Structure formats: structure tokens, C-alpha cells
Structure 1
Amino acid sequence: MAALLLLLTIGGALFCPSVDAQEAYEKLDETFKKGVNLSLEKLNEHSSIQNHFLFFRSVTKSNVEAGFDVVFIYHHFYLKPTKCPKGTTDLSNCSFRNDIPMIDCAICYKTFQGEIEAEPKPYLNCLRKPSVTPEMQVNRIEHCNRLAYSHGASNLLASTGTK
């Protein structure tokens, strides 16, 4: 009986990770989901990607409200490959693969009224996890900090209006 229980537990663990990933994705705020979706879209454009990837977990998230319904988003997260081919729509049978490294992504973008703005262009950096060095991580954050501080808020304050 104990062996059967152990077998059921191990079998369930093989199928739960993709469910857990979907739960992790569902718990994200809508503005963070949009960045993950953009990352997955760009990842799927690469012909070298053969597997379907799912959001696995967030490493770091931040949002800076700049006023006037403008928010700057930074999200560092992992995407994990599944056993399903790229483009799969029914994810119910897609379990995670552990023989392919995860994708380490960092994205930052500006939103206005909850939608990603085209300018400044969103910054996206996704690499296989073993390739990301501490220096690259620092460069990602510095790049995103420059994006947040170059939004031109001083122009709004300098406006004199018309009389």
C-alpha cells in the first residue's frame, strides 16, 4: 500500500509542475503578465527554439509609478521548457523538461494606462540560464534604470501652457 502511495505521489509530481507554473503566472499582476507574454512571443520567433516554454517563477519584480498613469516595470523571471513542441495550445499534457536549461529573462518597459508603450522600446534580454553572468545581471538593471530616468518628465514641468 505504501509503495502505491509513493508511486501516485511521484506520478503526480511529474504532472503538477506545469500546473504550478500556470498558477504562478495567474498570480502575476496584469502588467507583469503582459511582459511575460511579450517575452514568450519574442522567444517563439526564434527558429532554434523547438519546445513550448512556460513561465516558471519570478526572481525580481518592481514597478515605479511615474504619475499620470505611467508605470515603469522591471521583471526578472525564468521560463522553463516543456515536453510539448513550440506552438502547442493545449497545455494539459505538457510536463516540464529538466534536460534543457531554463531561460533567464529580464524585461523592462513603460506602460500607460496598463498598456505597454512602443516608446521607449521595451528592453528584453533572455538567455539560457547558465550563460547569464553577474556582470550581465548588473548591465540589465543599469539599462532598465536608464530607461526609467529618460522618460522626459521634466518637459511636463517645464510647460508654460497658453493664456
Structure 2
Amino acid sequence: MAAGWLLLVCAGAALYSAKAQGPHNELPDNYKKGVDLALMQLNSHAGVHHHFRFLRSVDRSEIEGGFNVRYLYHHFHLKPTRCAKGTTEPNPQRCPFRNDRPLMDCAVCYKTAADEIEASPKPYVHCIQKPRLTEEMKTTRMEHCKKMSYNSGAPTLLAVSTG
């Protein structure tokens, strides 16, 4: 009986741990790289004091450029946590979310070759607190990402949605 109880507790702990890893681990690798790029940029700002975690995708699209080249667009939300920026927790993905701060609305677009982000064209990252996001900003994001793929002679990045 005790062994059965112990097995149940261990299984529950494993499920909790997997859930704490959450949506970020469920993203395809190419999209994880874009989220990580946004998190790195966000953490470089002096005004950001808390650690952020990926919450959910809003929209994403990808086009094949040929020769193992892809153009990716990802619109997603990050949520602040109770951990300080630059946390060295054993697993920063376990930092509890805080509900007293707004979500960060992010859009990234970038080119990958052989599954690595290319430096040219320069990856585009735009994150802003969700309540401050305007329609004009949304339009600017889309235009920038469209231009990135047009300049490379690829079909429009936002034409193919996989989200």
C-alpha cells in the first residue's frame, strides 16, 4: 500500500514538473529561438526588474525560402514572474507568475538557415506592455516583417499561417 502511495506521489511530482516547464517547451525549436531572443532583449533593459516567462502564442507563420531557409513570424505573450531578472533559480521556468503586472506583447520575425537565426536580415524584436500596444504599432510590426521577406525575394511571411 505504501509503495503504491509513493508511486502516486512521484507520478504527480513528475506531472507538476512537466507542467511547470509549460508552453515554452511545447514550441517547435525554431519558434523557441525567437522567444529566447525576445527574452534576452527584454532582460537587457535596465527598466525591467522581473523575470518573464513565455505564456502563449497569439499567431505564428513560417515560409520556406528554399535551401533549408525559413522566414518566421511569431506573435506571443510573456508574463512577469515573482523572480528577479537574471534569476539563478534551479529552473527559471518554475518562477511563479505574478498577476499584478500587465502581459508583455511581443512580435518577432527572423530568417533561419539550417535551423539557426541568421544575422542578415537583422532579426526584428518588438515587445511592449499589452495595454500600451496601439494599432499603429501592430501595423508597423506587420509591415517590417513583410518587408523582411520581400527584400529576400521570398513570398510574404504573413501569407502562410501555421498558428
Normalised by the length of structure 1, the TM-score is 0.78
Larger Rg: 1
Note if contact 2:21-2:93 (Cα within 8 Å) is conserved in structure 1. Answer: no
Per-residue CA deviations over 1:6-57 (Å, capped at 9, x if unaligned) read xxxxxxxxxx7x9757321111010000001111001000011110000010
Q: Counterpart in 2 of 1:28? A: 27
Structure-2 residue corresponding to 1:122: 123
Structure 1 gap ranges (5+): 1-15, 154-163
- Give yes or no for the alignment of 1:112 onto 2:113: yes
Q: Report the counterpart of residue 95 of structure 1 in structure 2.
A: 96
Note if contact 2:108-2:126 (Cα within 8 Å) is conserved in structure 1. yes
Looking at structure 1, the residues matched to 25 and 51 of structure 2 have their Cα atoms a distance apart, in angstroms, of 18
Which residue of 2 is the match for residue 85 of structure 1? Answer: 84
Q: Between 135-144 and 120-129, report the one with greater CA deviation.
A: 135-144
Q: Higher relative contact order by CA 8 Å / sep ≥ 6: 1 or 2?
A: 2
Aligned identity (percent) is 52
> How much is the aligned-residue C-alpha RMSD, in angstroms?
1.9
Give the aligned length. 137
Q: What secondary structure does 1:38 align onto?
A: helix
8 Å contact kept, 2:53–2:93: no
Change (3 A) 1:147 1:82: same
Residue 5 (structure 2) aligns with: none
- Supply the distance in 2 between the matched residues of 1:139 and 1:116 (Cα, whole angstroms): 22
TM, length-normalised to structure 2: 0.78
Whichever residue aligns with residue 145 of structure 2, its letter is C
Gap regions ≥5 residues in structure 2: 1-15, 155-163
